[in-house]
């Protein structure tokens, strides 16, 4: 087990930088998720930690060793790849034991370690099959088993669930979390799926265009996004953003609707901003909106409804922008019906229209 430290880590392909001087401290035993849209440099970062990609600048430390110039085999890491990367010509048993075999560990130790990993991941009945004879979920478990037999310092996961169907993905998510609780090894996990990030991570690292945008616990990044990008990327449905101008200490939407300035936010008079409100914080009156001291009310026609059972998602149009709202204890709503919505202002966000930066103090 070990902590992992990235200092000003840069990756360039030729003259093209794809990871820009990122800094990250990962504590021993922590579960850190790198999340961001595809192409933002998550895999590249992970592969630099693994040693599969040269580091163009900065240092990567695992434990107390700078590993920049060490080949992957000397870093004591395990990696689970997106496409499983199993050895197709080896049985499940051989796949699981391969790293120990390479490390020339005694036979009985290998047998025991393989049996144990197979037990943890319910692979025991499949040990003599080849990867070609396994389903996607089973292959995924073999890939994980191969990673855990070695008791590495760090586990690296590169989108391990993205090739699975939705149901299996949810199951495996739980298994991975359980695995972490059981083995307690440092995990660095890459995904583009914010739900995976939220559910798995001790800390989330949000990346965009090769930069780290925000690091924080799932609740921190959800409740206090540093900019409009994080605000819309984390959370489902994505946060509604309404263009507005600050006038006389209030927000004025493009159609003239006035909304009081949410508390705890500072904005200059005349500043162009984006008003951010999550669906959970804009609800039709009388439908279980939690009472708060700062409320604003708007009338909005409903253009579309998505009933989900315990709640219904309402799509409406406010000042020319589509807004998603939530209705708890739902009743049937007709399309075109105009409802009065309450907005919980103390849960709302304000971002500079130009830079996207949060205006929270």
| Residue 38 in the binding site for ligand ADP (CB under 6 A) | yes
**For the chain, what is the radius of gyration of the CA atoms?**
24
Q: Which of 27, 59, 89, 269 binds another protein (CB under 8 A)?
A: 89
Note whether 191 binds ligand ADP by CB under 6 A: no
Lookup result for tokens 């319910």: 122
Q: Note if the bond before 44 is cis, omega within 30 degrees.
A: no
Does the footprint of ligand ADP cover residue 21 (CB under 6 A)?
no
Q: Does 160 bind another protein (CB under 8 A)?
A: no
* Residues 51-70: x where in contact with another protein by CB under 8 A, - otherwise, as a string: xx------------------
Which residue matches tokens 């060793």? 65
CB nearer another protein, residue 86 or residue 205: 86
Name the residue with the smallest CB distance to ligand ADP.
Answer: 43
For 205, the token pair is: 């690292």
Residues 8-47 that bind Mg ion (CB under 5 A): 43
In the block, residue with structure tokens 């998720």: 33
Report d(CA 325, CA 316) in Å as an integer: 8
Contacting residues for 235 by C-beta, under 8 A, at least 6 apart: 194, 222, 278
Part in contact with ligand ADP (CB under 6 A); list of ranges 38-46, 63-71, 128-136, 272-280: 38-46
Task: Assess 43 for contact with ligand ADP (CB under 6 A).
Answer: yes
For tokens 């830079």, name the residue: 355
Q: How far is the CB of 45 from ligand ADP (least distance, A)?
A: 7
Q: Of 33, 74, 361, 3, give the one whose Cα is nearest residue 196.
A: 33
Residue 13 binds ligand ADP (CB under 6 A): yes
We find the least distance from the C-beta atom of residue 7 to another protein, in angstroms, to be 23
| 44 forms part of the interface with ligand ADP (CB under 6 A) | yes
CB of 159 to Mg ion, least distance (A): 6
Residue written as tokens 């009472």? 291
* Under rule CB under 5 A, residue 191 binds Mg ion: no
Closer residue to another protein, CB minimum distance, 106 or 336: 106
CA distance 161 to 166: 9
Nearest residue (CB) to ligand ADP, 41 versus 316? 41
Q: Is 44 in the site for another protein (CB under 8 A)?
A: no
If you write DSSP's letter for every residue of 186-237 in order, what string do you get? EEEEEES-HHHHHHH-SEEEEEETTEEEEEE-HHHHHHS-SBHHHHHHSSSS
Is 40 an interacting residue with respect to ligand ADP (CB under 6 A)? yes
Burial of 225 per CB tally in 10 Å (0-12, 13-18, 19+): buried
310: contact with ligand ADP by CB under 6 A: no
**Site map for another protein, 265-304, x if CB under 8 A?**
----------------------------------------
β-strand pairing of 154-158 with 186-191: parallel
Mapped onto helix, strand or coil, the DSSP state of residue 352 is strand
**Binding partner at 229 among another protein, Mg ion, ligand ADP, none, C-beta below 5 to 8 Å by kind:** none
Q: Dihedral angle at the C-alpha atoms of 101, 103, 108, 113, nearest 10 degrees?
A: -90
Interatomic CA distance for residues 22 and 25, integer angstroms: 10
Nearer to ligand ADP, 116 or 162 (CB): 162
User: Can you give the binding site for ligand ADP, defined by CB under 6 A?
Assistant: 13, 18, 36, 38-44
User: Can you give the binding site for another protein, defined by CB under 8 A?
Assistant: 50-52, 71-73, 77-79, 81, 83-89, 98-99, 102-103, 130-133, 146, 150
């Amino acid at each position: 087990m070990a902590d992992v430290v990235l200092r000003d880590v840069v990756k360039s392909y030729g003259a093209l930088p794809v990871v820009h001087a990122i800094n990250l401290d990962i504590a021993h035993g922590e579960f850190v998720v790198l999340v961001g849209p595809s192409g933002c440099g998550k895999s590249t970062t992970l592969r630099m930690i693994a040693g599969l990609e040269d580091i163009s600048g900065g240092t990567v430390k695992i434990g107390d060793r700078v590993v920049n110039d060490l080949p992957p085999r000397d870093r004591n890491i395990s990696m689970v790849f997106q496409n499983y990367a199993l050895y197709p010509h080896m049985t499940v048993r051989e796949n699981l034991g391969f790293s120990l075999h390479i490390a020339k560990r005694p036979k009985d130790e290998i047998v025991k370690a393989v049996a144990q990993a197979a037990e943890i991941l319910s692979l025991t009945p499949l040990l003599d099959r080849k990867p070609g004879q396994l389903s996607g979920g089973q292959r995924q478990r073999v890939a994980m088993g191969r990673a855990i037999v070695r008791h590495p310092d760090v586990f690296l996961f590169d989108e391990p669930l993205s090739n699975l169907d939705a149901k299996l993905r949810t199951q495996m998510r739980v298994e991975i979390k359980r695995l972490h609780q059981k083995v307690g090894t440092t995990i660095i996990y890459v995904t583009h799926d914010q739900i995976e990030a939220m559910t798995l991570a001790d800390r989330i690292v949000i990346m965009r265009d090769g930069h780290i945008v925000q690091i924080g616990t799932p609740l921190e990044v959800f409740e206090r996004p540093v900019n409009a990008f994080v605000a819309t990327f984390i959370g489902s449905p994505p946060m509604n953003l309404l263009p507005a101008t600050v006038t006389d200490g209030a927000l004025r939407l493009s159609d003239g609707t006035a909304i009081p300035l949410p508390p705890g936010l500072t904005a200059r008079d005349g500043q162009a901003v984006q008003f951010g409100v999550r669906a959970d914080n804009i609800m039709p009156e009388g439908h279980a909106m939690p009472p708060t001291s700062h409320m604003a009310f708007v009338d909005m026609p409903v253009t579309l409804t998505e009933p989900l059972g315990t709640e219904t998602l309402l799509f409406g149009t406010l000042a020319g922008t589509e807004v998603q709202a939530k209705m708890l204890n739902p009743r049937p709503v007709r399309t075109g019906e105009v409802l009065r919505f309450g907005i919980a202002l103390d849960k709302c966000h304000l971002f500079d229209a130009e830079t996207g930066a949060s205006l929270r103090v």
